[in-house]
């Protein structure tokens, strides 16, 4: 299986601060890779670089060998990369259903004029989009279905909002999913559920997943591989055990002269 997503020598700085420094990262098709690191390590910046919100000062980011650098975020999304956000960015005043349907924009094409006339082609596409939304939401069981369909997103509980964001991200039919702290703020049972869900996304959905997480239980439960970042530099890579016991990783999280406890 070839490398699906690859970052080669990517660097970025804001003013004098080097946020990402000569980063090499790759994602093989079907993998689940976790990115860990203390706050400020550059993890979300990494996601922003991949999705085109920031442009790398040097280096290249490729999907299937084709470069993504310089593309607009919506173009990158249409190429097959989708994401969730650390701070949750749902379309709060839109309904649950609409949030998911909205993300289907990139792979549909009923234009404004066809919409004005409501051509049969446009109506067919609308039905397909709605069906797609239903499928994606059904992934989470009954939670986001039924009467929740038409409720505005702001009425959802926190955990449901996180789930909705993931559902929305899958609606653009991506190949790669970037999940930014999907378990943040969840209680243990919800965290356990999310862990299973991410695994299910790979097996049932076929997505290749890059996850930023702080909760090591989740990381341990899902990862094929773990990458540790600190101050924009990759300091360790490998299986969970390898990385968790790596000296530099422990130092980054806890400081010098501390023994690891697991």
Partner 1 sequence: MSDSTPHSSHIPAEGPAVGQDEWVARHGERRLLRGGRLGKLEERLRVVPWWVWLILFVAAFSLLPVVESSGYVRRVAFDTVLYMLLALGLNIVVGWGGLLDLGYVALYGVGAYTYAFLASDQFGVHLPTLLAVPITVIIGALVGLLLGLPSRRLTGDYLAIVTLFFLQLFQTLMTNGDSVFGHDLTGGPNGILNIDPFHIFGHDLAVQHGGVFAVSYFYLALAVFAVVYVALRFVNLSRTGRAWRSLREDPLAAEAMGMPVNWLKLMSFSFGAGVAALTGTLFSALNASVFPLTFYFILLIVVYTMVILGGSGSQSGVVLGALIIGPLLELLRDPGKARILFYAALVGGVVFGFRRSRTLGIVSGATIAFGFVMHAAASAHDAAWVAGDKASGFGGAMAHWVVVPAHLASWVQPTTYVGLIGLALLLTLVDRRVRIVLLVPTLYLAAFVWENVMLANPEPMRYIVLGVILVSLMILRPNGLLGERRVEIV
Partner 2 sequence: MDTFIQLTIDALTLGSVYALIALGYTLVYGVLKLLNFAHGDVFMVGSFIGFGVLQLLGGTSNPIVPIWALLVLVTLAAMAGCAVLGVVIERFAYRPLRNAPRIAPLISALGVSFFLANSMQLLFGAQPRNYDTFSLANGALYLHGIDIGQVRVPLLRIITIVAAFVMMVMLWYLVNKTRTGKAMRATSFDLEAAAMMGIDIDKVIVFTFVLGSALAGAAGVMFGLRVPTNVSIGFVAGLKGFTAAVIGGIGSIPGAMAGGLILGFAEAYTQGYISTKWSDLVVFLILIAFMIFRPQGLLGRADIHKV
- Smallest gap from residue 81 Cβ to partner 1 (A): 9
**Residue 78 interacting entry, from partner 2, partner 1, none, C-beta within 5 to 8 Å by type:** partner 1
Closest C-alpha to 97, from 50, 46, 153: 153
Q: Is 77 in the site for partner 2 (CB under 8 A)?
A: no
15 binds partner 2, rule: CB under 8 A: yes
Instruction: Kindly report the backbone phi and psi dihedral angles of residue 13, in degrees, each rounded to the nearest multiple of 5, phi listed first.
Output: -135, 150
Query: How many residues bind to partner 2 according to rule CB under 8 A?
Result: 5
Which lies closer to partner 2 via its Cβ, residue 165 or residue 193?
A: 165
* Least distance CB 15 / partner 1 (angstroms): 21
User: Contact between 14 and partner 2 (CB under 8 A)?
Assistant: yes
How many Cβ atoms from other residues are within 10 Å of residue 168's Cβ? 26
First and final C-alpha spacing in the chain: 33
Site string for partner 2, 28-57 (x = CB under 8 A): ----------------x---x----x----
Of 85 and 140, nearer to partner 2 (C-beta) is: 85
State the Cα angle at 139 between 100 and 227, rounded to 5°: 90
Residue 168 binding result from partner 1, partner 2, none, given CB thresholds of 5 to 8 Å by partner type: partner 1
Which residues are at the interface with partner 2 (CB under 8 A)? 14-15, 44, 48, 53
């Amino acid at each position: 299986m070839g490398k699906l997503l690859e970052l080669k020598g990517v660097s970025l700085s804001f003013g004098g601060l080097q946020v990402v420094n000569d980063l090499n990262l790759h994602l093989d098709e079907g993998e689940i890779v976790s990115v860990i690191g203390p706050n400020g390590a550059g993890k979300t910046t990494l996601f922003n670089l991949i999705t085109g919100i920031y442009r790398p000062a040097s280096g290249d980011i490729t999907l299937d060998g084709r470069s993504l650098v310089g593309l607009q975020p919506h173009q990158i999304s249409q190429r097959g990369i989708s994401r969730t956000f650390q701070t949750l960015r749902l379309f709060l005043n839109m309904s649950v259903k609409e949030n998911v349907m909205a993300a289907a924009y990139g792979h549909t094409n009923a234009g404004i004029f066809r919409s004005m006339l409501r051509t049969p082609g446009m109506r067919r596409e609308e039905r397909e989009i709605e069906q797609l939304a239903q499928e994606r939401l059904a992934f989470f069981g009954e939670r986001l279905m039924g009467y929740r369909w038409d409720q505005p997103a702001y009425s959802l509980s926190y955990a449901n909002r996180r789930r909705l964001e993931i559902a929305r991200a899958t609606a653009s039919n991506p190949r790669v999913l970037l999940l930014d702290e999907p378990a943040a703020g969840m209680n243990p049972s919800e965290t356990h559920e999310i862990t299973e869900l991410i695994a299910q996304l790979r097996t049932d959905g076929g997505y290749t997943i890059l996850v930023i997480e702080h909760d090591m239980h989740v990381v341990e439960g899902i990862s094929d591989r773990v990458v540790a970042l600190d101050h924009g530099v990759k300091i360790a890579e490998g299986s969970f055990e390898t990385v968790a016991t790596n000296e530099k990783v422990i130092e980054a999280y806890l400081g010098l002269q501390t023994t690891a406890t697991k």
